[in-house]
Structure 1
Amino acid sequence: TTNKLKDINEVLEFLYQEFPQCFKQKDGIKPLKVGIFKDIAERIEGSEKVSKTQVRQALRKYTSNWRYLEAVTKSEFRIDLDGNQGEKVEQEHIDHAQKALEESRAKMAKRKKQQR
């Protein structure tokens, strides 16, 4: 039998517990280091709880969240798994986050309008 977590939210909770300095910042969500998946994959090597595919899916969900996208648009620096300040957030990433937020909000508004 496998002990792997099945739900993406469980995988996110696993990441929060394993890397609290990265995912549980006291002053809110921070943009993650570019390439953080590789760092996570190295640290969880051999884990019976999560697969790399699950981590990739969980990160995709985490980084497409509105609060995360807003953090990208407002933060000056990214952080690594240990919560250390990393590279500056590049303008193209800020622009991408802003566009993703606008598109997501437009979809939500359209859905709400259709439900009326």
Structure 2
Amino acid sequence: MSGSDSKPRDPHHAVLISLRSMFPVFQECHPLAIGIHKAVLERLPCINPQQLRLTMRMHTSSARYLKALTNGETRFDLDGNVAGPVTPEQKQQALDTLRERFRKGAEQHKARLLARQQEQQRREKLVKLAEKFNVR
């Protein structure tokens, strides 16, 4: 395996890894200040704004971040300074997003189990039919 195999293939993930290494608020997954992407662009003007936007979406939609937002009281800037409160509405929206995501995941899991059961039943019926018609 070459050294390039250890690098993230997704450029947004690479940007997130960089943000985590430079700013503890990303690594520790604290609720971020509103508009923090502007501060990131000021400090790191070499980052493509579109790529940063997608990276921020990936980070802030993660279950880990949504849980931090749900349980947090305070938002933080890039230096870890208090940058305002997490409002009850923001907490509720994060909680609703998590609940919906887990509900959909549970539904998908249930559907996969049902499909496996149906496939197993279909196979058992085929075996029985084969046994029935192979009898001499």
Task: Establish whether TM, by shorter chain, passes 0.5.
Answer: yes
* Residue in structure 2 matching 1:13, options 17, 21, 28: 17
Which fold has the larger relative contact order, with Cα–Cα distance below 8 Å and residues 6 or more apart in sequence? 1
Deviations 1:25-68 (A, max 9, x none): 3xxx21000111111111111x1xx3111111111011111111
CA RMSD of superposed structures (Å): 1.5
Residue 36 of structure 2 corresponds to which residue in structure 1?
A: 36
Point out where structure 1 has 5 or more consecutive residues left out of the alignment.
none
Paired positions, count: 105
TM-score normalized by the length of structure 1: 0.83
Q: Which runs of 4+ in 1 moved over 3 A?
A: none
Higher-Rg structure is 2
How far apart are the structure 2 equivalents of 1:87 and 1:9?
A: 27
Residue 25 of structure 2 corresponds to which residue in structure 1?
A: 22
Whichever structure has more helix as a proportion of its residues is 2
Work out the percentage of aligned pairs sharing the same amino acid.
35
TM-score normalized by the length of structure 2: 0.71
Q: Secondary structure at the match of 1:81?
A: coil
Point out where structure 2 has 5 or more consecutive residues left out of the alignment.
1-8, 114-136
How far apart are the structure 2 equivalents of 1:41 and 1:114?
A: 43
